[in-house]
Amino acid sequence: MRSHTPSFIPAWFIAVLVIACGSPGWLAQAVAQEVPFTGVVNQNQTDVRCGAADSFYRVGELKKGQLVQVDEVIVGWYKIVPPEGIHSYISKAFVDAKGDGSAGVVNTDRTEAKAADVNGPGNSYRTQAVLNKGDGVQIVAEEGSHYRIVAPSGAYVYLPPGSVRRALAMETEPAEPQEPQEPAEPKPEPEPVEEPAPVEPEPQPEPEPVVETPAEPVVVVPVVPAEPKPAVETPEPAEPEPTAVALPEPEDPSVKDLKEMLNDPPDETAEPAEPVEVLPLAELEAQIEAMLELPVEDQPLAEMIAKYEALQAAGGLSQVQAHKVASRLASLRHGLEIAQGLEVIAKAREPKPQAQTQPTEAVSYDAVGRLLASSVYDGRTLPRMYRLADPATGRAVAYIRPGGPVDSTRFLGLLVGVQGERAYDPALKLKVIAVERIDALQAAD
């Protein structure tokens, strides 16, 4: 039989094979990019978080062996559909309960559903989805002024790197139920039969020997499986973010002041807004180019957001156009958030009669600097914190946690001295202070 073993293997092929086998991290990363897929949790007591970092709060815990649906991998973190037992919070004021209270209907547009912190609604700040009037929710429980609900469509939670492996086909197929077998009926005992007299067997001729003919060798040709085509990742459109700031319960005094500055009370007598005209994408892009030539404070960001949202809602866009509209909306909303933050800082710098003057007694402060709002830790994607900057260089010397017994928001923009419980954050490489005392070291302008 002819051998099919190659007589020569190139040295470069062996080198590539050795490098690939010695780099399991590279192989794992390549496999991880093939999403979506069904995964299996491979660690006991795996924490589930509301975002793709350890700094986000916990929303639950999964056991080893649980199946999860992985839709994306972000810097090693697994973005999954919330499994059973991982819930969301929504304010009771925006939901009308129906029937026995296990279902409800949203009564206001742009209502936020928050990822449910394991410690309750007061710590749940991460927006998972935005619901509109008429959307239905499944109520699990009542907790204070919030409903705990089944996570709505479009919500996601995250598992840490290395905690999920791709599920095998046998693990995802449901087991076929076995039909119950009926017990066999007992067989009646046979009646005794008299044994016949033994008969001597007649001699038989010896059989002729059989000569075995060797079978022809069978050549098996191995079937090489076709390489799977790489999946084309479709960019996920940016989730719409509401302009209103929803506050946790109970309200933090510092957040309460920001709410008063950012959100005007709703005008119940105002007429409903007129429908926005749907313009072609090319015309909107031309308007964007003209808008960028204006000063930041004169740019009609909210108007352009409304126009792009109207075009997105009208549909009929190609995949490239839909991605372009989603990217433009995300950029406009980010610009609007920056403009609102600048407005907050400007209002915070206005004279306040209750601002404290420089203390007369000698006080030893844990940190001294100018108190500013943080554009990174803004309470949306990351926990809310304020930045204490060196007045000479502008560099951050510490971060301030809001809340507690002291309202620190009325000191925004001022040079202050801070006392409180200090902790060192290795990721920021800075001190983080929970304020117990804050003094203005200069009068308000």
Q: What is the pLDDT of residues 352-363, one digit of tens each?
A: 655 445 555 677
How far is residue 350's CA from residue 188's CA, in Å, rounded to a whole number?
103
- Which residue, chain included where needed, has tokens 């620190």? 408
Minimum mean pLDDT range among 64-73, 87-96, 147-156, 180-189: 180-189
Residue 270 has pLDDT above 50, yes or no: no
Q: What's residue 115's pLDDT?
A: 94
CA dist., res. 103 & res. 117, Å (int)? 21
Whether 108 shows a pLDDT value over 50: the answer reads: yes
Q: Look over the chain and give the mean of its residue pLDDT values, rounded to a whole number.
A: 76
Higher-confidence position of 331 and 376: 331
For residue 389, give the amino acid letter.
A
Give me the helix-helix angle, 281-291 and 301-314, nearest 10°. Answer: 170
Q: Is 228's pLDDT higher than 90?
A: no
**Among positive and negative, which fits the CA dihedral 329, 269, 254, 120?**
negative
Of 163, 164, 174, 162, the C-alpha closest to 38 is 164
Question: Highest mean pLDDT range out of 6-10, 20-24, 359-363?
Answer: 359-363
Phi, psi of 119 (to 5 degrees): -95, 0
SS3 of 165, please?
Answer: strand
Amino acid at 13: F
Q: What amino acid occupies position 381? A: T
pLDDT category at 192 given cuts 50, 70, 90 is low
Q: Collapsing DSSP states into helix, strand and coil, what is residue 260?
A: helix
User: By C-alpha distance, which of 332, 328, 276, 331 is closest to 307?
Assistant: 276
Cβ–Cβ < 8 Å for 388, 398: yes
Q: Which residue has the higher pLDDT, 236 or 191?
A: 191
- Provide CB contacts within 8 A for 333, sequence distance 6+: 238, 240, 241, 305
For residue 145, what are its two tokens?
A: 């002024």
247 vs 369 pLDDT, higher one? 369
Task: Quickly count: other Cβ atoms within 10 Å of residue 32's Cβ.
Answer: 19
pLDDT for 367 equals 87
Nearest 10 degrees: Cα torsion 9, 10, 12, 14 = 10
Check: pTM over 0.85? Answer yes or no: no
Bridge partners, 131 (sequence order): 111
